[in-house]
A = this chain, B = another copy of it.
């Protein structure tokens, strides 16, 4: 039935494989052992997390422990951490029978990804050339979480259609590509991207979409009945939405400059997100026959403003500028869900489970453009002499940069993110995805309890049409039994 599109998209030849008994433990053990070895060789505490900090303080005339970067960034770090594990994890629980996979595989992928990210980003950004060691502190932890966010965005497109082993492979490659792309954009091009509109969202989304294109399933209708929500799964997803929404100001300000930089980034993000909620609700109601709201839009499009204000969050975007960005993002993202997602699936053969094209790809690109324009438009009148230099870091070998040039490099950065995302996804070796009829189903990778609840006792006793299985066994019992099965 399926049509083999071309050489790259090899869905017909791939053997469907849902048994992960040998591959998953092997991958986890081998990779975790590798992490230990690599950390042993390369990773040490940085000066602010080492016991020698007390000597460092004296040398640098630091009078108080509160000057430790920990106190500038730890609250934001924890907010970002919640976004990665609860935000992304629960946002994907909307599927009626893939909540375990959503929150569980998100957990697995992120826990692996942050370790690999500490290494990859460390080699590029935190290598101490005196001793060849990567020196880590709180900012590295935030960046590792950021890096993983890119891969979790990609997971959104693949949700329900790939195995955990595939996800780990995707994360290994994704983190590697991310670190290279980030180095090119931030260090070589010297573009600014505090909230990662380009580096995280654009890259992550196109990475996921191109993997989804490679893995196209012409017969996905076989599991169509599971590709939807139930009442309570939609409420669970709102936990993810709200924690992402609330903590996004921390996301965009976490690695911004100390002082006014972090302060401004938080304000801009707060405003952009508020604006997005109203236009999302408006569009959702406007394009439905009877004016009813669609949970898909409320869960996702309300977040688009945070994505799009990422690059420019620490710039002098001004409060109304942030509102404008949020205003258009809510519109674009909701329209994307209504019109563009069906088009993507039917015409471009990209099956995007969570609609990351609407939540991350389009707003990410928009954010890159907003960043380029607002950088190019920066003036000394608005920023002040020192403020301009500090905000855009026109120092060292970049001391001669001027805002208009900076705008050009910002745009170049966006292109790099796009290329890495699309190219990386297409070239990724991937295999072992589940059969079409097993998609969106926790049963294949998880021990799933039977839901006794859905059979009220009175029914179970009186209704002889129900097989014994339902009246006897009552969910997965946690009575500890050393059963013969082990």
Contacts and interface: CB of A to CB of B under 8 A. Distances in A.
Contact of A229 (B32, B293, B382, B475): B475
A71 B258 CA distance: 10
B65 A21 contact: no
Interface string A289-329: 11111111010001000000000000010111001100100
Contact of A455 (B24, B78, B346, B459): B459
A44 B137 contact: no
A235 B93 contact: yes
A228 B448 CA distance: 11
B32 A327 contact: yes
Contacts of A64: 67
Nearest to A302: B107
Given A260-B50, A342-B482, A447-B293, A111 B72 contact: no
A267 B137 contact: yes
A129 interface: no
Contact of A319 (B136, B227, B243, B462): B136
A59 B146 CA distance: 36
A230 B138 contact: no
A86 interface: yes
Interface in A450-481: 451-456, 458-459, 462-463, 465-467, 469-470, 474-481
B287 A54 contact: no
Contacts of A74: 75-76, 262, 266
Contacts of A226: 474
A387 interface: yes
A65 B319 contact: no
A103 interface: yes
Interface string A269-282: 01101110111011
Interface stretch (A35-43, A174-182, A403-411): A35-43
Interface string A334-365: 00011101111110000011010000000000
A70 B476 CA distance: 45
Contacts of A57: 259
A124 interface: no
Interface in A18-61: 19-22, 24-26, 28-29, 31-33, 35-37, 39-40, 43-45, 48-55, 57
A213 interface: no
A82 B270 CA distance: 13
Contact of A66 (B19, B71, B388): B71
Given A54-B384, A86-B243, A466 B459 contact: yes
A107 B277 contact: yes
Interface in A405-460: 444-449, 451-456, 458-459
A279 B33 CA distance: 10
A157 interface: no
A435 to B, nearest CB: 15
A89 interface: yes
Nearest to A474: B225
Nearest to A338: B486
A440 to B, nearest CB: 9
A9 interface: no
A96 interface: yes
Which of A274, A286, A388, A452 has its CB near the most chain B CB atoms (within 10 A)?
A: A274
A462 B221 CA distance: 24
23 contacts: A21-B291, A33-B327, A39-B323, A44-B318, A48-B259, A51-B388, A68-B260, A70-B263, A74-B75, A89-B242, A99-B235, A108-B278, A115-B274, A141-B270, A224-B479, A227-B477, A228-B477, A342-B481, A344-B480, A345-B479, A345-B480, A458-B470, A459-B466
Given A51-B388, A71-B71, A141-B266, 12 more contacts: A36-B324, A45-B264, A51-B391, A54-B259, A103-B238, A107-B298, A111-B275, A136-B319, A235-B236, A292-B444, A343-B482, A458-B467
